[in-house]
Amino acid sequence: MAGAIARIVAALVGKATQYFHASIISAYLLWRWARTGGAALKAKEHKMPRKLVEDYNHKFISLPSGVNMHYVEAGDSSAPLMVLVHGFPEFWYSWRFQIDHFKDRYRVVVIDQRGYGETSKPPNITDYITTLLAKDVDDLIHGLDSSTNLSSSGYTSAVVIGHDWGGAVAWTHALLYPQSVARLIVCNCPHPAAFNTLLKKSSELVGIQLYMFFYQTPKIPEAAVAADDFEVFLKAGIRNRENFTSEYLEAWKYTFNTLRSAINYYRCAFQYPSNESIPMKCRVKTLIIWGDQDHFLIKEGATLSTQWCDDAILHFIPGSSHWVPQDNPRLVNDHIDNFL
């Protein structure tokens, strides 16, 4: 009985938090609309920079789920496979520094997750359950043509690297399909069990995750993110602004001409948590890289994650934000090199 009451109270607090933030932000959007004569909420046209189209090898693969996945490939097709999985609000080009660094030793495949970029955008919230996203990664690995592996249907395994939501997908993939992961590397995303533990006991983490409650509201979050030409995410905390170039910003704004499917990741996590039984102990050799100036997560999530791994190494990157692969790519790449 006490547990049921606690769940009801938590649900009511969550709804109150959601509606409070939605009302405040709705008022702000209305004010911006009136102040700018509607311009603040009007979508602006952006184009993908030619360099991103012409200087990279763009491909697609049809997955068994029906998702048509866009990815960028670099390196020798006979080299070991490395798959990189982006987070929110990112896309394949967020891994540009890793593409250039690892392409001489690996077949580097950098995906747009479902709902992002040129990959299919299924319409339902339930299409973004984390186990489905993890299955996308596994289907990709085994579906890519391989000239070196014994499996005729594709690769048997890959080095898998994830950041933010891509880290959550990479963790889940390694837990469900450990045989498909040669090595796991996760940047600024805690192990699912560590995250759930901290949500229950850390008021600091709950406080900085309040935006997730707001994201449960229909339509308003999309309008808030896109307002004033995505101004809110241009202030999202990356510290090394030299790596956040105007070219990257233009490509980012072009890619996020639709936000609903990306925000559906958060809606699905809250409204339809996966009831699939997932083994929580990570059996794969794991490297955790963590920018210690993360404003969205707490460092304890990194240290607690190692306790859920058989074999894990943790490196904190001093002075780096949540966006550590872009903030300090040299040090991130060095740690990955040493680990591999």
66 by Cβ neighbours in 10 Å (0-12 / 13-18 / 19+) ranks as exposed
Contacts 24+ apart (CB under 8 A), 90-93: 90/116, 90/163, 90/164, 90/166, 90/252, 91/116, 91/117, 91/251, 91/252, 91/255, 91/256, 92/117, 93/52, 93/248, 93/251, 93/252
For this structure, is 164 an active site residue?
yes
- Given a contact cutoff of 8 angstroms between Cβ atoms, the answer to whether 102 and 75 are in contact is yes
Q: Cα separation of 309 and 1, whole Å?
A: 34
SS3 content of the chain, % helix, strand, coil (to 5): 50, 15, 35
For strand 158-163 and strand 286-291, is the pairing parallel, antiparallel, or unpaired?
unpaired
For strand 181-187 and strand 158-163, is the pairing parallel, antiparallel, or unpaired?
parallel
**Which residue type, as a one-letter code, is found at position 18?**
Q
Q: Cα separation of 116 and 113, whole Å?
A: 6
Pick the catalytic residue from 266, 294, 327, 335: 266
**Which residue type, as a one-letter code, is found at position 247?**
E
* Number of residues assigned to the chain: 340
Pick the catalytic residue from 86, 142, 322, 335: 322
Residue with tokens 């609309």: 33
For this structure, is 215 an active site residue?
no
The first and second tokens of residue 253, run together, are: 């704004």
Pick the catalytic residue from 139, 164, 294, 327: 164
The backbone region for 314, taken as left when phi is positive above 0, alpha when psi lies in -120 to 50, beta otherwise, is beta
Instruction: Just list the catalytic residues.
Output: 164, 266, 322
